[in-house]
Structure formats: C-alpha cells, structure tokens
C-alpha cells in the first residue's frame, strides 16, 4: 500500500492540530486553517464531494470544484468505477495534473470525500489530502463561502491503469478472505448489522433481499471515527475503538464493507492513513451484493465469537441459511 507523498505545497510537517493527534500518516490530512492559507495557491486543487450533490451550488470553499460521486466516479452502465480513460477525462477537466496537491472535503464527516479519495487512489494518484472537519468545521468557523465556480485550464494528465487489488475487494476475494479467517469490519448501523433492517436508517430501501452480516464480521459504525465537528478522533481514541473493542491489530488483513462501499471507504481511510494498517481493502459490492447473492453465508443478530479459519468459505456457519 502506497501512502500519499508530500508535495511542495503541503506542509513539511503537519500543523499542530493534526500532528498532536498521533496519526501514522498525518500528511494525509490538512486543517481548515491550512486550506484557508492556500486558497490562492496555484499548486493546490480543492474538490468538494458531498452526499447531497446540491450542497456545492448553495455555497462552497472559494476555489473548490465539485465532484459528483454518482456521475463522475461511477461507470454509467456497468456497476463499477470509471476506467482509465474516464478518469483521465475527469482529472483533465478539473485542471489537475500529478504535480497538484488535491484536497478533498465534503459533508457528513467527510463521508463522500474519503470515498472520492479512495477512487483516486485506485489510479495511483499520490498527492491527496482530506480537509479535517470538512464542510461542517469550515462553516462552523465562519470561513468564507462562495457560489462562484472556478475555472482552470485543462491539463494533459495521463493516469496509470486502475489497480484494484491493493485496496479493493470483490465478492470472491471476500469469500477467500473469510475462508482464511481474515478480519471483517461491517461499518453499517447496528440495526443493519443484526438484520433488523436491510437499509440505512432514514434512507430508502435499495433492494437488498436479506438482512444480517457476513459471518465473523465485527460491527463498528463508520461515524464513530468522527467528532461532532466532523474532525477525526485522535489515534488513541481510534485504537481504543478498532483494536480495544473490535480486536483488530495493525498487521491484520482487513476487509471493510457497508452497503455500496461509501461508508466503508471512510473506515478504510481511518485504518490505512490514521492508524497505519497496511492490509486494508474496501469491499464496495458490500451488502447490496452480498445480501442478494444466492446462498451467500449470512449471520443475523449480534456478532458471534471468532473461530479458527475455515478450509473453505462454504464451511462458514449459516452458509446454508442464506435464504433467510
């Protein structure tokens, strides 16, 4: 796993508010103060990625451009992300090349900002940051907002081929991971995890046929990693959650999942960049795939004690109960 490299415009050392939190890779974050100081920096590009794609038009950080997670990052036909040519076209249109430091931010604890960050990493884009606190903190601090859309000259950026393997898991990968006794983190709500409901609270049903969770998964709702102001909790607080409660360890191979991979991309970011785990993948098929797959093993209720690795994913308890 390759972590971001510092660019000439990024701070040589993170500012005190970031460094004091004890993260493994503090260079992956910048503060709202740092962004405010770099609003006119030609080597920085700000990208806003929100769950509510209309928020940008109501006001955004000066100089920021909009990423529509649905239209810009996903293939319009196949359930997959954009390919190399589509990604190149997006980055060129945004006036970005490999020399720029790209800073993502968004609503709801940077939920969709980390999702966009993850997609950019599929193509090996290195100079990526997240603005700690996102829109919430920027607005709470009374910092400037605008409805003006910036325009930058298009670039001739050339992307690497998309490389899913290091940070993305497919269903067959998850089955193999399960058979090896790999660690699974389900970042959905407790009600989704137990099977009481098949969709996010206060969100519409998305067509999942079965409720529950992948056997042996531990439930750590994604938003537990954030403070009320949208900033990330300290490394010590995060370790208490993911290691003290969920039993993870930095050397573990971990697969995170949710319903379509957006909430779990936030947890992927936390484990990879803030806690320094090197073997974390995001299963973006997540529950909308697993919960609809014929005979996929499912457990309901609270998490069960972990057992020894299975020789085959078909040997996992409840494999024959997927019709629940």
Q: Per-residue confidence at 203, pLDDT binned at 50, 70, 90?
A: low
pLDDT of residue 15: 72
* Domain parsing of the chain, residue ranges: 16-140, 168-321
Is a pLDDT exceeding 70 seen at residue 283?
A: yes
Is a pLDDT exceeding 70 seen at residue 84?
A: yes
| All residues at 6 or more sequence positions from 237 whose CB lies less than 8 Å from its CB, including other chains | none
Nearest to 103 by CA among 183, 182, 6, 35: 35
Is a pLDDT exceeding 80 seen at residue 107?
A: yes
**CATH class in words for 16-140:** alpha beta
What would the pLDDT profile of 226-264 be if each residue is shown by its tens digit?
Answer: 999 999 999 999 999 999 999 999 999 999 999 999 999
Nearest to 118 by CA among 311, 316, 264: 264
Among the listed residues 258, 271, 274, 298, the single catalytic one is 258
pLDDT of residue 219: 98
% residues pLDDT > 90 (the chain): 83
Global pTM reads 0.90
Helices (H), 126-218: 134-140, 171-179, 190-194
| Residue that has been written with the tokens 């430091």 in this structure | 101
Q: Per-residue confidence at 307, pLDDT binned at 50, 70, 90?
A: low
- For residues 147 and 66, the answer to whether their CB atoms sit within 8 Å is no
Q: How many residues does the chain have?
A: 324
What backbone torsions phi and psi does residue 215 show, to the nearest 5 degrees?
A: -50, 140
Asked about 258 being catalytic, the answer comes back as yes
What would the pLDDT profile of 24-43 be if each residue is shown by its tens digit?
Answer: 999 999 999 999 999 999 99
What backbone torsions phi and psi does residue 319 show, to the nearest 5 degrees?
A: -60, -35
Is a pLDDT exceeding 90 seen at residue 204?
A: no
* CATH architecture, domain 168-321: 3-Layer(aba) Sandwich (3.40)
pLDDT of residue 156: 98
What would the pLDDT profile of 38-67 be if each residue is shown by its tens digit?
Answer: 999 999 999 999 999 899 999 999 999 999
Is a pLDDT exceeding 80 seen at residue 207?
A: no
Bridging pattern class, strands 254-257 and 128-131: unpaired
Judged on CB neighbours under 10 Å (0-12, 13-18, 19+), 100 is buried
d(CA 49, CA 56): 8
**Fold agreement (16-140, 168-321):** yes
d(CA 90, CA 95): 9
Is a pLDDT exceeding 50 seen at residue 290?
A: yes
Q: Per-residue confidence at 304, pLDDT binned at 50, 70, 90?
A: confident
């Amino acid at each position: 796993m390759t972590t971001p490299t510092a660019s000439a415009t990024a701070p040589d050392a993170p500012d005190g508010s970031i460094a004091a939190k004890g993260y493994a890779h503090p260079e992956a974050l910048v503060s709202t103060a740092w962004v405010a100081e770099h609003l006119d920096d030609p080597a920085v590009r700000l990208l806003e990625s929100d769950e509510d794609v209309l928020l940008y038009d109501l006001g955004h950080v000066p100089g920021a451009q909009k990423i529509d997670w649905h239209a810009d990052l996903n293939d319009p036909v196949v359930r997959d992300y954009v390919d190399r040519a589509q990604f190149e076209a997006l980055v060129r249109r945004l006036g970005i090349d490999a020399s720029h430091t790209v800073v993502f931010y968004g609503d709801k604890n940077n939920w969709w900002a980390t999702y966009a960050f993850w997609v950019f990493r599929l193509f090996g884009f290195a100079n990526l940051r997240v603005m700690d606190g996102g829109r919430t903190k920027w607005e709470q601090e009374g910092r400037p907002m605008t409805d003006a859309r910036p325009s930058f000259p298009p670039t001739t950026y050339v992307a690497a081929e998309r490389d899913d393997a290091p940070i993305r898991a497919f269903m067959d990968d998850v089955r193999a991971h399960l058979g090896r006794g790999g660690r699974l983190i389900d970042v959905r709500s407790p009600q989704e995890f137990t099977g009481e409901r098949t969709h996010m609270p206060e969100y519409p049903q998305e067509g999942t046929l079965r409720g529950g969770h992948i056997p042996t998964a531990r439930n750590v709702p994604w938003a537990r990693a954030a403070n009320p102001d949208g900033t990330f909790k300290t490394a010590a607080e995060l370790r208490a959650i993911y290691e003290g409660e969920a039993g993870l360890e930095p050397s573990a191979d971990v697969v995170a999942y949710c319903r379509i991979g957006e909430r779990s991309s936030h947890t992927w970011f936390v484990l990879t960049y803030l806690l320094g785990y090197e073997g974390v993948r995001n299963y973006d098929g997540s529950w909308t795939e697993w919960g609809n797959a014929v005979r996929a093993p499912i457990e309901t209720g609270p998490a069960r004690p972990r057992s020894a690795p299975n020789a085959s994913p078909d040997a996992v308890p409840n494999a024959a109960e997927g019709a629940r």
